[in-house]
Amino acid sequence: MASSNQPLAFSALSRSRAAGDPSDPSFATTLAHGLDLLAAFRNGSGSLSNADLALQTGLSRPTVSRLTHTLAQLGYLKRDAKGRFELGLGILAAAYPVLSALKVRQMARPLMRDFAAYAGGTVSIAMPFGLDFIYVETLRTTDAVPHVPDVGFTGTLATTAVGRALLSLSTEDELQRYVQSVKAERPDELEYVEARTLPDIELCRERGFALSLGEWRREIFGVAAPLYRTAAGDCLSVNCGIPSFRFSAEQIERECGPRILGLARSIRSLVDNN
């Protein structure tokens, strides 16, 4: 584990949604459009037709048709029985080197399992993904939860405990860039970020954990703690999504918060010693 001066690129994802940066001759617009199509399937959108993809991405139907044909030929998309598109195994193959390089996933699992059993929720490790987070590991001990995410699940940084924990690892300059990216790309979130997210980031830095009590989803209380920042500049945090009927808001703050802080410390110790 090591800290880094490498800046976080909060707007990295959204660049592919632009028509291309005229000032950047190296920007491959066609490639970006293809990645936009793949991104449309995030978080279990199910199968999508060319018309669905055109609507979601803003691309023309002929462009979408050419891109889906190419992506299907390469194994990144496949057709279902109705001729609609689903993600193909090429996506999983491409992700394998990324996941296998994150050794913290294997080391942390026993500790995560213990916390999941205690809380009756889902424990995950997350990293920033543009203005969102993405789970790189997740574990639960029961299916009796209202939300069951898996590796690759994404959600907004702004309203979640895990997002605030990740943002607490950033520098002040990086936080300013984050706010500017929100203003440019998700203006509807800006007021919330300024009023709630930024103060909660400071609170996380003070006490070591962050909370989101039904802000992201009403039926879920989130508690998270920052883990560390790698030499490459990647940030990681650990969180638990807990059904709101299991603990009161006061218990989440008084009991679960210090416990997840302890979990984060134990995970860091494992990483430092391996």
Mean pLDDT of the chain: 88
Whole-number Å distance between alpha carbons of 239 and 155: 13
Question: Residue written as tokens 């997840």?
Answer: 260
What distances in angstroms separate CA 179 from CA 205, 206, 226, one per listed residue? 18, 21, 20
DSSP annotation of 64 reads H
What pLDDT is attached to residue 15?
40
Whole-number Å distance between alpha carbons of 130 and 237: 15
What pLDDT is attached to residue 231?
87
**Residue numbers of the chain with a pLDDT score lower than 50:** 2-3, 11-20
Whole-number Å distance between alpha carbons of 81 and 256: 46
Neighbours of 178 (CB within 10 A): 23
For every residue of 33-66, DSSP letters joined together read HHHHHHHTTTTT---B-HHHHHHHH---HHHHHH
What pLDDT is attached to residue 1?
56
Instruction: Please report the domains of the chain, with CATH numbers, ordered by start residue.
Output: 14-94 (1.10.10.10), 102-272 (3.30.450.40)
Whole-number Å distance between alpha carbons of 59 and 36: 10
**Helix or strand or coil: residue 243?**
strand
What pLDDT is attached to residue 80?
92
The answer to whether the CB of 5 falls within 8 A of the CB of 272 is no
226 closest CA partner among 1, 13, 7: 1
What pLDDT is attached to residue 10?
54
Strands (DSSP E) contained in the chain are 77-79, 85-87, 122-129, 132-140, 154-156, 210-213, 220-229, 235-243
170 closest CA partner among 44, 3, 51, 17: 3
DSSP annotation of 8 reads P
What pLDDT is attached to residue 145?
60
Classify the C-alpha dihedral 237-241-244-247 as positive or negative.
negative
What pLDDT is attached to residue 140?
86
Q: What is the pLDDT of residues 84-113, one digit of tens each?
A: 999 999 998 988 888 888 899 999 999 999
How many residues would you count in the chain?
Answer: 274
Report which residue type is found at 188.
D
What pLDDT is attached to residue 42?
79
Whole-number Å distance between alpha carbons of 262 and 216: 24
237 closest CA partner among 255, 214, 215, 211: 211
What pLDDT is attached to residue 27?
86
Q: What is the pLDDT of residues 175-218, one digit of tens each?
A: 999 999 999 999 999 999 999 999 999 999 999 999 999 888 88
What pLDDT is attached to residue 217?
84
Q: Across the strands, what pairs with 156?
A: 132
